[in-house]
Amino acid sequence: MSLANGSNENGKKLGDVYVVTSGKGGVGKTTVTASLGAALALKGKRTLVVDADIGLRNLDVILGLESRVVFNLVDVAKKVCKPSQAIIKSKKSNNLYLLPASQTDEKDVINEEDIKKVIEQYRREFNYILIDSPAGIEQGFKNACAAAQKAIIVTNPEVASIRDADRVLGLLHSRSIEPQLIINRIDFNMVRRGDMLSVHDVQEILGIDLVGVIERDEDVIISANTGEPVAFNPKSIAGQAFIRIARRLCGEDVPIKNYIHGQSFWGRLGRHFGVA
Amino acid sequence: MFSALSKFFGNGSSKSKAKSRLHLVLVQDRTGLNGDEMSDFRLDLLNVLKKYFVIEDNGLDVQYQRDSGSTTLSINSPVLRRKPQVVLSKKETVNAAPAL
Protein backbone atom coordinates (compact mmCIF):
# COMPACT_ATOMS: atom_id res chain seq x y z
CA MET A 1 0.00 0.00 0.00
CA SER A 2 1.41 3.37 -0.88
CA LEU A 3 0.69 6.45 1.13
CA ALA A 4 0.01 9.89 -0.27
CA ASN A 5 3.62 10.98 0.17
CA GLY A 6 4.91 8.08 -1.91
CA SER A 7 6.15 5.93 0.94
CA ASN A 8 4.94 2.59 2.20
CA GLU A 9 3.81 1.72 5.70
CA ASN A 10 7.41 1.56 6.96
CA GLY A 11 8.16 5.07 5.71
CA LYS A 12 10.48 3.82 2.97
CA LYS A 13 10.24 5.86 -0.20
CA LEU A 14 8.64 3.98 -3.07
CA GLY A 15 10.27 4.13 -6.48
CA ASP A 16 9.35 6.77 -9.06
CA VAL A 17 7.51 5.32 -12.04
CA TYR A 18 8.06 6.85 -15.47
CA VAL A 19 6.46 5.89 -18.75
CA VAL A 20 8.72 6.39 -21.77
CA THR A 21 6.54 7.12 -24.75
CA SER A 22 6.42 8.99 -28.04
CA GLY A 23 3.39 8.20 -30.17
CA LYS A 24 5.44 7.59 -33.26
CA GLY A 25 7.40 4.37 -33.54
CA GLY A 26 11.11 4.16 -34.11
CA VAL A 27 12.13 7.42 -32.45
CA GLY A 28 14.16 5.77 -29.70
CA LYS A 29 11.88 4.85 -26.78
CA THR A 30 13.50 1.48 -26.18
CA THR A 31 17.00 2.88 -26.60
CA VAL A 32 16.18 5.66 -24.14
CA THR A 33 14.58 3.28 -21.63
CA ALA A 34 17.57 0.94 -21.73
CA SER A 35 20.29 3.58 -21.54
CA LEU A 36 18.53 5.86 -19.08
CA GLY A 37 18.02 2.80 -16.90
CA ALA A 38 21.70 1.96 -17.28
CA ALA A 39 22.75 5.52 -16.45
CA LEU A 40 20.60 5.56 -13.30
CA ALA A 41 22.03 2.20 -12.30
CA LEU A 42 25.56 3.57 -12.73
CA LYS A 43 24.61 6.31 -10.26
CA GLY A 44 23.80 3.62 -7.72
CA LYS A 45 20.02 3.77 -8.12
CA ARG A 46 18.19 0.46 -8.15
CA THR A 47 16.38 0.62 -11.49
CA LEU A 48 13.81 -1.63 -13.14
CA VAL A 49 13.10 -1.27 -16.84
CA VAL A 50 9.79 -2.76 -17.96
CA ASP A 51 8.98 -3.78 -21.52
CA ALA A 52 5.28 -3.00 -21.99
CA ASP A 53 5.33 -3.75 -25.72
CA ILE A 54 3.48 -7.06 -25.41
CA GLY A 55 3.86 -9.23 -28.47
CA LEU A 56 6.80 -7.22 -29.87
CA ARG A 57 9.40 -7.29 -27.17
CA ASN A 58 12.69 -5.47 -27.75
CA LEU A 59 14.03 -4.20 -24.47
CA ASP A 60 15.53 -7.63 -23.78
CA VAL A 61 17.49 -7.55 -27.04
CA ILE A 62 18.77 -4.00 -26.52
CA LEU A 63 20.02 -5.04 -23.08
CA GLY A 64 21.61 -8.23 -24.36
CA LEU A 65 19.40 -10.36 -22.11
CA GLU A 66 17.38 -12.14 -24.79
CA SER A 67 18.67 -15.58 -23.89
CA ARG A 68 17.75 -15.20 -20.21
CA VAL A 69 14.03 -14.58 -20.43
CA VAL A 70 11.96 -17.15 -18.53
CA PHE A 71 8.95 -15.31 -17.11
CA ASN A 72 7.47 -12.02 -18.24
CA LEU A 73 5.08 -9.18 -17.36
CA VAL A 74 1.97 -11.16 -18.34
CA ASP A 75 3.06 -14.11 -16.18
CA VAL A 76 3.37 -11.82 -13.17
CA ALA A 77 -0.03 -10.24 -13.90
CA LYS A 78 -1.67 -13.66 -14.14
CA LYS A 79 0.20 -14.91 -11.06
CA VAL A 80 1.88 -17.70 -13.00
CA CYS A 81 5.08 -16.75 -11.16
CA LYS A 82 6.24 -14.57 -8.27
CA PRO A 83 7.33 -11.01 -9.13
CA SER A 84 10.93 -11.76 -8.14
CA GLN A 85 11.11 -14.68 -10.55
CA ALA A 86 10.37 -12.58 -13.62
CA ILE A 87 13.03 -9.87 -13.33
CA ILE A 88 16.44 -10.39 -14.93
CA LYS A 89 19.60 -8.72 -13.68
CA SER A 90 21.74 -6.85 -16.22
CA LYS A 91 25.13 -8.28 -17.13
CA LYS A 92 26.78 -4.91 -16.65
CA SER A 93 25.26 -3.57 -13.45
CA ASN A 94 23.89 -5.06 -10.26
CA ASN A 95 21.47 -2.15 -9.99
CA LEU A 96 19.69 -2.70 -13.29
CA TYR A 97 16.89 -5.21 -13.81
CA LEU A 98 14.57 -6.02 -16.70
CA LEU A 99 10.95 -7.14 -16.62
CA PRO A 100 10.38 -8.48 -20.15
CA ALA A 101 7.20 -8.43 -22.21
CA SER A 102 5.58 -11.61 -23.42
CA GLN A 103 6.27 -12.32 -27.05
CA THR A 104 3.14 -14.23 -27.99
CA ASP A 105 0.21 -12.44 -26.44
CA GLU A 106 -1.72 -9.50 -27.80
CA LYS A 107 -1.73 -6.09 -26.24
CA ASP A 108 -5.13 -6.42 -24.64
CA VAL A 109 -4.34 -9.62 -22.74
CA ILE A 110 -3.87 -7.46 -19.67
CA ASN A 111 -5.58 -4.21 -18.74
CA GLU A 112 -4.66 -1.04 -16.85
CA GLU A 113 -5.66 -2.38 -13.46
CA ASP A 114 -3.54 -5.51 -14.02
CA ILE A 115 -0.40 -3.61 -14.84
CA LYS A 116 -0.87 -1.15 -11.99
CA LYS A 117 -0.94 -4.07 -9.55
CA VAL A 118 2.20 -5.57 -11.11
CA ILE A 119 4.20 -2.33 -10.94
CA GLU A 120 3.06 -1.58 -7.42
CA GLN A 121 4.71 -4.82 -6.28
CA TYR A 122 8.10 -3.62 -7.51
CA ARG A 123 7.99 -0.06 -6.18
CA ARG A 124 9.28 -1.12 -2.77
CA GLU A 125 12.39 -2.69 -4.27
CA PHE A 126 13.45 -0.09 -6.82
CA ASN A 127 14.30 3.62 -6.81
CA TYR A 128 13.25 4.06 -10.43
CA ILE A 129 10.91 2.11 -12.68
CA LEU A 130 10.98 3.00 -16.38
CA ILE A 131 8.18 1.57 -18.51
CA ASP A 132 8.91 1.26 -22.22
CA SER A 133 5.63 2.03 -23.97
CA PRO A 134 4.68 0.60 -27.35
CA ALA A 135 4.15 3.02 -30.23
CA GLY A 136 0.61 4.25 -30.79
CA ILE A 137 -2.12 5.40 -28.46
CA GLU A 138 -4.22 2.25 -28.05
CA GLN A 139 -4.45 -0.28 -25.22
CA GLY A 140 -0.71 -0.93 -25.07
CA PHE A 141 0.00 2.76 -24.54
CA LYS A 142 -2.81 3.06 -21.99
CA ASN A 143 -1.44 0.10 -20.06
CA ALA A 144 2.06 1.57 -20.07
CA CYS A 145 0.70 4.86 -18.67
CA ALA A 146 -1.55 3.25 -16.06
CA ALA A 147 1.07 2.93 -13.31
CA ALA A 148 3.13 6.02 -14.16
CA GLN A 149 3.23 9.34 -12.31
CA LYS A 150 5.60 10.96 -14.76
CA ALA A 151 6.40 10.60 -18.44
CA ILE A 152 9.36 11.01 -20.68
CA ILE A 153 8.34 11.93 -24.21
CA VAL A 154 10.91 11.01 -26.81
CA THR A 155 10.79 12.92 -30.07
CA ASN A 156 13.00 13.38 -33.12
CA PRO A 157 13.40 16.92 -34.49
CA GLU A 158 11.18 16.23 -37.48
CA VAL A 159 7.60 16.85 -38.51
CA ALA A 160 5.90 13.46 -38.13
CA SER A 161 7.48 12.68 -34.80
CA ILE A 162 6.61 16.06 -33.31
CA ARG A 163 3.04 15.79 -34.49
CA ASP A 164 2.58 12.47 -32.75
CA ALA A 165 4.35 13.70 -29.63
CA ASP A 166 1.93 16.61 -29.49
CA ARG A 167 -1.02 14.23 -29.64
CA VAL A 168 0.42 12.09 -26.86
CA LEU A 169 0.97 15.18 -24.71
CA GLY A 170 -2.75 15.88 -24.84
CA LEU A 171 -3.51 12.35 -23.70
CA LEU A 172 -0.98 12.48 -20.87
CA HIS A 173 -2.39 15.82 -19.73
CA SER A 174 -5.84 14.29 -19.39
CA ARG A 175 -4.31 11.54 -17.23
CA SER A 176 -2.50 14.07 -15.05
CA ILE A 177 0.89 12.58 -15.89
CA GLU A 178 3.68 15.14 -15.76
CA PRO A 179 5.73 15.08 -19.01
CA GLN A 180 9.35 15.90 -19.75
CA LEU A 181 10.94 15.99 -23.17
CA ILE A 182 13.94 14.23 -24.67
CA ILE A 183 14.94 15.32 -28.16
CA ASN A 184 16.66 12.33 -29.76
CA ARG A 185 18.76 12.09 -32.93
CA ILE A 186 19.53 15.77 -33.32
CA ASP A 187 22.27 16.65 -35.82
CA PHE A 188 23.72 20.06 -35.04
CA ASN A 189 25.34 20.36 -38.48
CA MET A 190 21.92 20.07 -40.07
CA VAL A 191 20.47 22.53 -37.56
CA ARG A 192 23.19 25.05 -38.46
CA ARG A 193 22.44 24.62 -42.19
CA GLY A 194 18.76 25.26 -41.56
CA ASP A 195 17.79 21.72 -42.56
CA MET A 196 16.71 20.49 -39.15
CA LEU A 197 14.48 21.92 -36.44
CA SER A 198 16.53 23.20 -33.52
CA VAL A 199 16.21 22.39 -29.83
CA HIS A 200 14.48 25.75 -29.37
CA ASP A 201 12.06 25.09 -32.24
CA VAL A 202 10.95 21.74 -30.86
CA GLN A 203 10.63 22.99 -27.32
CA GLU A 204 8.64 26.01 -28.42
CA ILE A 205 6.23 23.90 -30.43
CA LEU A 206 5.60 21.27 -27.77
CA GLY A 207 5.76 23.62 -24.81
CA ILE A 208 7.00 21.24 -22.11
CA ASP A 209 10.12 21.06 -19.96
CA LEU A 210 13.21 19.66 -21.63
CA VAL A 211 15.20 17.05 -19.75
CA GLY A 212 17.75 16.16 -22.42
CA VAL A 213 19.08 16.31 -25.97
CA ILE A 214 20.77 13.33 -27.62
CA GLU A 215 22.79 13.68 -30.80
CA ARG A 216 22.73 11.18 -33.64
CA ASP A 217 25.47 8.73 -32.82
CA GLU A 218 26.65 5.61 -34.63
CA ASP A 219 27.52 4.09 -31.28
CA VAL A 220 23.82 3.64 -30.58
CA ILE A 221 23.53 1.15 -33.43
CA ILE A 222 26.83 -0.50 -32.58
CA SER A 223 25.72 -0.97 -29.00
CA ALA A 224 22.43 -2.48 -30.14
CA ASN A 225 24.46 -4.94 -32.20
CA THR A 226 26.44 -6.01 -29.18
CA GLY A 227 23.59 -5.89 -26.69
CA GLU A 228 25.23 -3.39 -24.38
CA PRO A 229 23.29 -0.14 -23.76
CA VAL A 230 25.23 2.86 -25.01
CA ALA A 231 25.20 4.53 -21.59
CA PHE A 232 27.79 1.95 -20.48
CA ASN A 233 30.19 3.31 -23.12
CA PRO A 234 31.95 6.38 -21.68
CA LYS A 235 33.39 7.35 -25.08
CA SER A 236 30.02 7.66 -26.82
CA ILE A 237 28.43 11.11 -27.10
CA ALA A 238 24.95 9.60 -26.82
CA GLY A 239 26.08 7.64 -23.80
CA GLN A 240 27.34 10.80 -22.14
CA ALA A 241 24.02 12.50 -22.87
CA PHE A 242 22.18 9.71 -21.05
CA ILE A 243 24.46 10.10 -18.04
CA ARG A 244 23.59 13.81 -17.92
CA ILE A 245 19.85 13.06 -18.22
CA ALA A 246 20.05 10.60 -15.35
CA ARG A 247 21.73 13.25 -13.24
CA ARG A 248 18.96 15.71 -14.02
CA LEU A 249 16.29 13.17 -13.10
CA CYS A 250 18.03 12.79 -9.77
CA GLY A 251 17.71 16.52 -9.21
CA GLU A 252 21.15 17.75 -10.26
CA ASP A 253 21.37 20.98 -12.22
CA VAL A 254 23.28 19.92 -15.34
CA PRO A 255 23.53 22.31 -18.31
CA ILE A 256 22.32 21.21 -21.73
CA LYS A 257 24.83 20.88 -24.54
CA ASN A 258 23.91 22.93 -27.56
CA TYR A 259 25.43 24.67 -30.54
CA ILE A 260 25.20 28.19 -31.84
CA HIS A 261 27.01 29.77 -34.77
CA GLY A 262 29.34 26.84 -35.16
CA GLN A 263 30.59 26.76 -31.59
CA SER A 264 29.43 24.46 -28.87
CA PHE A 265 28.30 25.96 -25.61
CA TRP A 266 26.56 24.83 -22.47
CA GLY A 267 23.23 26.47 -21.95
CA ARG A 268 20.99 26.66 -18.93
CA LEU A 269 18.14 24.25 -18.79
CA GLY A 270 14.73 25.86 -18.79
CA ARG A 271 11.44 26.28 -20.56
CA HIS A 272 12.60 29.18 -22.69
CA PHE A 273 15.99 27.74 -23.39
CA GLY A 274 16.72 28.83 -26.79
CA VAL A 275 18.91 29.63 -29.70
CA ALA A 276 20.01 27.89 -32.83
CA MET B 1 28.77 25.56 -60.14
CA PHE B 2 28.48 25.74 -56.39
CA SER B 3 25.17 27.54 -56.56
CA ALA B 4 23.86 24.93 -59.02
CA LEU B 5 24.89 22.18 -56.62
CA SER B 6 23.32 23.91 -53.68
CA LYS B 7 20.07 24.28 -55.61
CA PHE B 8 20.19 20.58 -56.28
CA PHE B 9 20.75 19.63 -52.64
CA GLY B 10 18.61 22.30 -51.07
CA ASN B 11 19.54 25.70 -49.77
CA GLY B 12 18.99 25.08 -46.08
CA SER B 13 15.55 26.59 -45.80
CA SER B 14 13.72 23.31 -45.45
CA LYS B 15 13.42 23.81 -41.73
CA SER B 16 11.23 26.90 -42.08
CA LYS B 17 8.91 24.90 -44.35
CA ALA B 18 8.82 22.20 -41.67
CA LYS B 19 7.88 24.75 -39.03
CA SER B 20 5.04 26.29 -40.99
CA ARG B 21 3.64 22.91 -42.02
CA LEU B 22 3.81 21.72 -38.44
CA HIS B 23 1.95 24.77 -37.18
CA LEU B 24 -0.83 24.13 -39.66
CA VAL B 25 -1.07 20.46 -38.86
CA LEU B 26 -0.98 20.98 -35.10
CA VAL B 27 -3.77 23.55 -35.20
CA GLN B 28 -5.96 20.97 -36.90
CA ASP B 29 -4.92 18.17 -34.56
CA ARG B 30 -5.29 20.19 -31.38
CA THR B 31 -8.73 21.49 -32.18
CA GLY B 32 -9.99 18.36 -33.82
CA LEU B 33 -11.09 20.37 -36.84
CA ASN B 34 -9.95 19.13 -40.24
CA GLY B 35 -8.94 21.38 -43.12
CA ASP B 36 -12.47 21.92 -44.47
CA GLU B 37 -13.93 22.50 -41.02
CA MET B 38 -11.18 25.04 -40.29
CA SER B 39 -12.10 26.92 -43.46
CA ASP B 40 -15.80 26.85 -42.57
CA PHE B 41 -14.96 28.07 -39.07
CA ARG B 42 -12.94 30.97 -40.44
CA LEU B 43 -15.71 31.88 -42.84
CA ASP B 44 -18.27 31.89 -40.03
CA LEU B 45 -15.97 34.08 -37.91
CA LEU B 46 -15.46 36.42 -40.82
CA ASN B 47 -19.21 36.78 -41.34
CA VAL B 48 -19.82 37.54 -37.68
CA LEU B 49 -17.09 40.17 -37.63
CA LYS B 50 -18.41 41.71 -40.83
CA LYS B 51 -21.80 42.26 -39.21
CA TYR B 52 -20.21 44.90 -37.00
CA PHE B 53 -16.97 45.96 -38.63
CA VAL B 54 -15.50 46.63 -42.01
CA ILE B 55 -12.58 44.23 -42.30
CA GLU B 56 -10.35 42.77 -44.95
CA ASP B 57 -11.35 39.36 -46.23
CA ASN B 58 -7.91 37.82 -45.93
CA GLY B 59 -6.66 39.49 -42.76
CA LEU B 60 -8.22 37.03 -40.33
CA ASP B 61 -5.69 35.11 -38.27
CA VAL B 62 -6.68 32.19 -36.07
CA GLN B 63 -4.01 30.72 -33.81
CA TYR B 64 -3.87 27.91 -31.31
CA GLN B 65 -1.12 28.11 -28.74
CA ARG B 66 -0.26 25.39 -26.33
CA ASP B 67 1.20 26.22 -22.96
CA SER B 68 1.64 23.65 -20.17
CA GLY B 69 -0.91 21.37 -21.73
CA SER B 70 -3.78 23.82 -22.20
CA THR B 71 -4.62 25.29 -25.56
CA THR B 72 -5.65 28.89 -26.17
CA LEU B 73 -7.53 30.12 -29.20
CA SER B 74 -6.67 33.63 -30.32
CA ILE B 75 -8.41 35.43 -33.13
CA ASN B 76 -6.93 38.54 -34.69
CA SER B 77 -8.16 40.74 -37.47
CA PRO B 78 -7.19 44.20 -38.66
CA VAL B 79 -10.29 46.40 -38.46
CA LEU B 80 -10.80 49.38 -40.77
CA ARG B 81 -13.83 50.92 -39.14
CA ARG B 82 -17.19 50.22 -37.61
CA LYS B 83 -19.80 49.14 -40.09
CA PRO B 84 -22.36 51.89 -40.66
CA GLN B 85 -25.79 50.64 -39.65
CA VAL B 86 -28.85 52.55 -40.77
CA VAL B 87 -31.38 50.54 -38.83
CA LEU B 88 -30.47 48.44 -35.84
CA SER B 89 -32.90 46.44 -33.79
CA LYS B 90 -32.87 47.21 -30.08
CA LYS B 91 -31.02 43.96 -29.45
CA GLU B 92 -28.40 44.83 -32.02
CA THR B 93 -28.03 48.36 -30.65
CA VAL B 94 -27.39 46.99 -27.18
CA ASN B 95 -24.94 44.43 -28.46
CA ALA B 96 -23.16 46.50 -31.10
CA ALA B 97 -19.50 47.22 -30.45
CA PRO B 98 -18.64 50.86 -29.52
CA ALA B 99 -17.56 53.20 -32.33
CA LEU B 100 -13.88 53.04 -33.15
Q: What is the pLDDT of residues A181-222, one digit of tens each?
A: 999 999 999 999 999 999 999 999 999 999 999 999 999 999
Instruction: Inform me whether the C-beta atom of residue B30 falls under 8 Å from chain A C-beta atoms.
Output: yes
Cβ distance of B12 and A206 shorter than 8 Å = no
Contact A194 B12 (CB under 8 A): yes
**For B54-96, what is each residue's pLDDT tens digit?**
988 788 888 776 665 566 788 899 888 888 875 555 565 556 5
Q: Are B12 and A193 an interchain contact pair (Cβ–Cβ within 8 Å)?
A: yes
Using alpha carbons, select from A1, A6, A28, A5 the residue that is nearest to residue A17. Answer: A6
Which among B6, B9, B19 is the top mutation candidate for probing chain A, defined by the most A β-carbons within 10 Å of its own β-carbon?
B19
Contact at CB, B30 and A166, closer than 8 angstroms: yes
Q: Give the Cα-Cα-Cα angle A59, A62, A65 (nearest 5 degrees).
A: 80
Q: Which residue of chain A has the CA closest to B17?
A: A195
Contacts for B63-67: CB closer than 8 Å, 24+ residues apart: B63/B27, B64/B26, B64/B27, B64/B30, B64/B31, B66/A166, B66/A169, B66/A206, B66/A207, B66/B26, B66/B30, B67/A207
Is the four-CA dihedral A76, A79, A82, A85 of positive or negative sign? negative
Highest mean predicted confidence (pLDDT) among A11-15, A67-71, A108-112, B23-27: A67-71
pLDDT interval class at A117 (50, 70, 90) = very high
CATH topology of domain A16-267: Rossmann fold (3.40.50)
Distances (CA, A) of A86 to A34, A98, A101: 17, 8, 10
The percent helix, strand, coil of chain A (3-state, each to 5) is: 40, 20, 40
Cβ contacts (< 8 Å) between A169 and chain B: which residues? 66, 69
Q: What is the pLDDT of residue A138?
A: 94
Going from N- to C-terminal start, the domains of chain A cover 16-267
Question: What are the sequence ranges of the domains in chain B?
Answer: 2-95
Inform me whether the pLDDT recorded for A263 exceeds 60.
no
Q: Do A197 and B19 touch (CB under 8 A)?
A: yes
Tell me the backbone φ, ψ of residue B46, rounded to 5 degrees: -60, -45
Mean pLDDT of A83-87: 97
With contacts defined as CB-CB under 8 Å, which chain A residues touch B67? 207
Percent of chain A with pLDDT over 90: 84
